[in-house]
Amino acid sequence: MNANNQQTEQEMEMVETQYWADQYEALTRLESNKDFQLVILQGYFKDRALDNVSMLGTHYAKSSGTRPEIMESLVAISALQDHFNTIKKIGGIAEEDISDLLGPEVE
């Protein structure tokens, strides 16, 4: 690999690293927001998921054919939680990588 290709690859990796670090920082800010906590973390991830799970076993869900819709709603909740977990995992590593590259902060 020549020097130009290696430099381009390193620049692309840095862009990717910065992307995930930015996502991580944004998610951290969101999770500290009281409205986000109420609507998404409590309302969607917990309350809505619990309501849907509770509905799965009801006679109405079985007889009306709404179980697939309920399952899709649970899949959507799971997908968003997975996305947030991916951001936390990769973004946390990206933050560490950037810190290692930049060295200790000077006060």
Residue by residue, pLDDT tens for the chain (107 residues) are 677 777 788 788 888 999 999 999 999 999 999 999 999 999 999 999 999 999 999 999 999 999 999 999 999 999 999 999 999 999 999 988 887 777 666 44
pTM of structure? 0.80
92-97 long-range Cβ contacts below 8 angstroms, 24+ apart: 92/24, 93/20, 94/17, 94/18, 94/19, 94/20, 94/21, 94/24, 95/21, 95/24, 95/25, 97/17
Three state DSSP letters for 1-25: CCHHHHHHHHHHHHHHHHHHHHHHH
